[in-house]
Structures are given as C-alpha cells and as structure tokens.
Amino acid sequence: MVVEKINTAFGQYNYNTSAITSVKVVDNKKNQPCNTYNAPSFTAKSVTLNTSQNIGLRTEFANKEEKKKYNEVCAKLDRNNKKVVNTLLKNGVLLNNNSDDKSTVLDNLHKIVTEPRAQGLSNSGILRDTIATIAYPFLITQQFGDIPNKYRQIAIQANNTLNTDKSDMRLASDDIDVEHSGTCVAASTEFKLAKQMPAEFARFAQELSSPKLAVTKRIKLENLADNTLNGVWLLNAFNMPFNLEKNYSDANLKLAPDKNAILRAQIQTTDKDPDERTPLDVLMQSTFMQIGSQQAYNSLTDKRGGKFNQNDKGLIEFEKTFTESVVFDKNILSVTYQTVDENARLIGYETDLDTMKKHLLTALDMGENIIIGYTQTNENNIIVNGHEITIVGYKKDDKGKLNFICNDTDDGITKPIVYSEDYLLPKIHHAALPKEVVEKDMKIVPNWEEGVDMFKQMRKQAA
C-alpha cells in the first residue's frame, strides 16, 4: 500500500473539492453520457424507509403520548407536509428509533416544534427541512448561498475577528463569497445519515439547531482503534471534546458546528434562494467539517485549518474516515483502490476491478450507503481533481450491464444519477466500507495507524 504518498498527493491537489459540476460526464469507453435516475418529484409518494434497520419496524403508535406528539407536529404543517409525515408513519420511518439515545424521529420532530431553536432560526423552518430531508435525502446540496447586503458587514466583521493586518482584512472580505464549496465529504455524510439512520439524523437536527448548538454522541473506542489508548490518541489528535465513560471503552463526544455557522444558517433562514443549502444543511455540514478538520473550519469562507491537510479546502481521506467512523459509531475502513505515486500519477490498482465490484455489491446488499472518492486525470494520468459521492444501489440495464445508482450533492440535481460500472469503477480512488467486507481480500491500514504515521512524518519534517 502507498497510503502516505496518496494522502500527501491528494492534500496538494485539493482532493474532495467540487470538481464535477454536471452529471453529463462522458463515458470514455462507450462515449455515452451517464443518466439521471428518474426518481419521482418530492411528494408523499416518494417517501421510503431509508434505514436498513428493519428489525422492530413500527407503523402504529404505542400509546397516547406518541399520538399526542404526532398531532402537535402535524398542527404546525401544511397539507402536503402532513401527508409526508403520515407516509413516514406508514413506512416505519417516523417511529424508527435507530438513534444514539433510542429517541424516535417523532420524538425529535416534536422537540423541534415545542422547544426553542437557536437565535435566528425558525422552529417551523427546521421542522420542514428535517422532514423533507428524511423523506427525500436527495434534496441535500453543498451549494453555498450568497450573502445579501444587509448581512455583509456583519459577516465581514465576524470573519475579521482575528485579523489585524489590513491586507488580511481585505482578503477576509473577499473570502466570504464562496463560489465552489469544498464540503462534498460533509454533505455526503449528511446524506448517508438521513438515508440510513433517520432517527439519528432527526436527533442531530434537533440538537444542532437548539440554543446549545451541539449534539452529544457516545461512541465505542474500538470503532476508532484497536485499543483504548489508541482511540483516545485519535480523539486528541482531532481535538475532539470528549470524556471517557467509567468502563474506559466508550467516550462521550461533543459535536458542534464552527462559531460562524450560525450566521450562515441565519442568512439561509431569511434569504435562501432555490438550489442553495438549507439552514439545516449549513449546521450539519459545518459540524462534519469541524470533526474532520480538527475543529478548524470556518463556515464563512469554507476554509479549514488543521494539521493533517496542506490544502485549506475539503477533507483528505484520513480525515473523512475519522469523521464517518465518529458519526456512525462504526469501524469503517477507507479502502484505497488506486495506486498513486509521489507525483499524483495514477499508476495502477491495489486489486482487480472485479474484487472492487464485489466489495461494493456486498456492502450495498448489507444495506450500506457507500461514500466513495473518485478521481479525474489528465492526458498524462496525473490526478488533477477528485470528488466524493455516495453509491446507494445498483441495477442492471436491458443488456445485463451493471449500473450504480449514486447521489452527488454538487450536481444541482435533486435526483439519483446512474454511472455504468465501466465508467465508475476505474475512477474510484477509495471507498468507505465495513471491515468485514474487505478484510479477507486486502490488507488495509487502519485509520489510527495511518494517523500515527502521518503525525510522525510531520514531526520529522518540522524538526
């Protein structure tokens, strides 16, 4: 494996930023464009059970308290949204409790309705956004909105808090106009959470939009590393606020957006244009960027600091894996398929494409949604950019050819897209997969080991 070289190269070449802006990507082998998947428009009929946790699925209220919560939520909704919530109930989503504290989607929607939201946020707005996103996660986008004149000086002042140099202050003024978002990893994580764990998504939505602007998350350290000490090292390396449980095997984390995210969310509450992020998208994506960037993200500029990435946009593969492992409390491996040299040249693959395909299909059959990073190369096979998308399913065409159904949060289309296996598989640099899917076929460097190696290299370079 060439993990160290890959991370260095992809940090330099701005990996995980918005490289692909259209689904009309030409298939080099067939010279045919990929297609959009004809999902229905967002109505009650488009709502499906988005979680693979079908055990104990409930479609009826267990008591009068649940019925009361349902009525109080519906009282705040228009006719169409009431139909959507009713469909969520019939499909088993509304009473799903696959969340950290076993609260249901309904429990958290009720708190959004009845408890205060953070300053400048709307109870009704957060409620509608949460319902819509859970019902149809393909609505999620990473597109930043513009900053209207009435907010401009406030935003510039907030971004200049730590600047004293006049040139830095001018730059800070220009930087708040974000044209190309680097939050594809964060947006893909948001999508996967909404689609795969709707109750946990609703819990995140409720707590992140509350006055405390933070969500608590209990994780098992074994899902980060091979032992407690290495798990604690990884949490400290990412500057995560946490405390250990008495059993020393679990940790309670505080996940929060950066301090400027609330201003972005307030702007989107009053001045959201079509196809821009919702206030909820802002809070979610900022939180996930904070996790990955070692608490060094700025929502006003979409830039990040931190010690693991030389670039100020996006997250590298190592940071992405840590973020996903924390959010889903799962031992997730980032499986690197492409072999890249120190000059960012694609020189081969770590396994054959049939094995790669087997890994993806196995994980999809397990109910996983797979976040992948794929690359673009120039005529010399040098990687010039990359992007994160999510594979949500697969199907065969009328000729028996396999196609992957995917979601791209940066294509401006609120529908799934379809890539043929011939097009997509050779472009996949890495994929986030459960350990059991790949451990028999490939030797994978665990995330914590990769982090230790990177930390040692940085110390050596600084000496």
pTM over 0.85: yes
Residue 136: CA atoms inside 13 Å, Cβ hemisphere, count? Answer: 21
pLDDT tens, residue by residue, 294-349: 999 999 999 999 988 888 999 988 899 999 999 999 988 889 999 999 999 999 99
Residue 321: CA atoms inside 13 Å, Cβ hemisphere, count? Answer: 28
* Angle of the 279-292 helix axis to the 317-328 helix axis, nearest 10: 120
Residue 222: CA atoms inside 13 Å, Cβ hemisphere, count? Answer: 4
Residue 57: CA atoms inside 13 Å, Cβ hemisphere, count? Answer: 16
Q: Is 341 left (phi over 0), alpha (psi -120 to 50) or beta?
A: beta
pLDDT tens, residue by residue, 214-272: 999 999 999 998 888 889 999 999 999 999 998 889 999 999 999 999 999 999 999 99
**Domain 3-40+329-462 belongs to what architecture?**
Alpha-Beta Complex (3.90)
At 202 the pLDDT is 98
Amino acid residing at 277: R
61 closest CA partner among 31, 94, 37 = 94
Amino acid residing at 429: H
- Phi, psi (5° rounding) for residue 224? -105, -35
| pLDDT tens, the chain, 463 aa long | 222 223 322 332 333 323 222 232 333 333 233 333 333 334 444 444 444 445 568 999 999 999 999 999 999 999 999 999 999 999 999 999 999 999 999 999 999 999 999 999 999 999 999 999 999 999 999 999 999 999 999 999 898 876 655 555 555 567 899 988 999 999 999 999 999 999 999 999 999 999 999 999 999 999 998 888 889 999 999 999 999 998 889 999 999 999 999 999 999 999 999 999 999 999 999 999 999 999 999 999 999 999 888 889 999 888 999 999 999 999 888 899 999 999 999 999 999 999 999 999 999 999 999 999 999 999 999 999 889 999 999 999 888 899 999 999 999 999 999 999 999 999 999 999 988 899 889 887 776 777 777 777 776 776 6
Domain ranges in the chain are 3-40+329-462, 54-142+178-304
Alpha-carbon gap, residue 9 to 343, rounded angstroms: 7
286 closest CA partner among 310, 268, 271 = 268
Alpha-carbon gap, residue 105 to 225, rounded angstroms: 30
What does the H/E/C string look like for 346-398? Answer: EEEECCCHHHHHHHHHHHHHCCCCEEEEEEEECCCCEEEEEEEEEEEEEEECC
Residues paired with 375 in a beta bridge: 386
96 closest CA partner among 44, 62, 67, 56 = 56
